[in-house]
Chain A
Amino acid sequence: MSATNTQSVSQYTKYTNRTATSRATSEAAWVRYSLIGTMLVFLSLFLFIPLASVFAEAFRKGAQTYFAAIVEPDALSAIKLTLIAAGIAVPLNLVFGVAAAWAIAKFEFKGKSFLITLIDLPFAVSPVIAGLIYVLMFGLQGWFGGWLSDNDIKIIFALPGIVLATTFVTFPFVARELIPLMQAQGKEEEEAALVLGASGWQMFWRVTLPNIKWGLLYGMILCNARAMGEFGAVSVVSGHIRGLTNTLPLHVEILYNEYNYAAAFAVASLLALLALLTLVLKSYVEWQATRNAADIEKEIKDEV
C-alpha cells in the first residue's frame, strides 16, 4: 500500500472482481443471500415496519378523521410554532457554523481542537438536560428568574425557551459539516481572490460560499430535521400549553396520552413525511456534492 499507482491497480481489481473471475474474495451465494436476508429482516423490524405502522395507524379510522386531525386549530398552531422555532434556530446555527468553520479551517490558533470538542458538546448532552439548563437559567427559580418576572419577560414556557432549547440541540450540525469540508479546500482560492482585488465580503460571497454550498445545505437539512422533530428538550421548557406552546412532537404526545391514537398518528405522519423528505433531499445533496467533486477532479485532470 505504498505508492499511488498501486491504488489505481487495486481500484481496477476491485471492479474486475465483480465478474466471476475471483471466487476467492467473495462468499458463496448462499452466504451472500442469507446475509442480505438477515439485514433486510433486521431493518424491517426496526425501520420499515415502524414507518409503515405510522401511516397504517393514521388512516385506521379513514381519511376523514386523518385530515380532521391535521386541520384542527391546535394542530395548526403546533405546525406554526414548529415552523417558527426551526425558522429561528436553523439560521442562527447556520451563521455560527460558517463563522466557526471559517476561523477553524482557515487559521491556526491555540486551543483549536478544544474548541471543536466544545462545539460537539450539545450532541453529548441528553435532550432533557438541554431543556433543564435553560429552566435553571431563566425559570422562575433560576438565576435570572426574579429579574425576568419583575420585567414581565417570559422565556420558559414560552416561545424564547423553545427556540433556545431547539438551538442548543441542533447547535453542532452546520459547523460539523463545514469544518472538515473547508479544511480540505484550503485557502488558495480565497487568497487568489484577494490578490485579484476582491474585498473580504466579495471573496466570501463569490468564492467561499459557492465552494461550500452543498455542505452548507447538507448541514442545514439535518439541522432542520432535528429542529422540527426535537421532543425532549422542548418538552422541558414548553409547559405543554395547548394551542400556545405546543410544537408538533409535543402535540403528538398529548394526543397519544389522551388515547386519541388516530389523531396522534395522523400528526405523527406529518413528521414522518418530513423525515422522508429529509432523506430524499439529503441523498440528492450527497449526489450533487459527489458529482461536483468529480467535475472538479476532471477539470484538474484536463488542465494537466
Chain B
Amino acid sequence: MSAFLPEDLIQEILFKLPIKSLVRCTSLCRTWNSLIKSPAFISKHLQRTISSTDHQSLFLLRLCSKEREEQYSLRLDNQDFNEHMQLHFPFESFKSYFHVIGSCNSLICLAKVIQSCIQYATYLRDYKRVKEDDT
C-alpha cells in the first residue's frame, strides 16, 4: 500500500479518475486491483460520475459498408454529432445488423436476430456473449 496515504484517502482520489486510468491502475498492485474491480467501488464511481458531470445522452451509430463491414460508435447529442468513442468488438452481425435491445449504466445490449445476445460494457470495452437460454 501507499507509503504516503491511507487506503480510504486514496480511494477518494481514485473516484475522480476516468475509466481508462482506472483500468490501467488495476495493474499497479494487488490492493488497487481488487479495490478498483470491486462492485462497491464500481457502483460508487458510477454514481459520482453521473452526479458530477452534466448528464449527456449518447447515440449509438451503426455504419454498414457494402462489404458488410460494420462500425459502431457512440456520438454526442450535439449539432455536429461528434464521436465520443468507437466501439470495437469481434462480432459480425451475420446476414443482418444487430438490434439494440437496450442500454443501462454504460452497458449496451445488442441482439443478433434474436438468436444470441451480446452485452458490451462500453467503457471497459469488454463484451460477453449471452446464449439464447440466458436471455
Say whether A associates with B: no
List B residues at the A interface (Cβ < 8 Å).
none
Residues of A within 8 A of B (CB): none
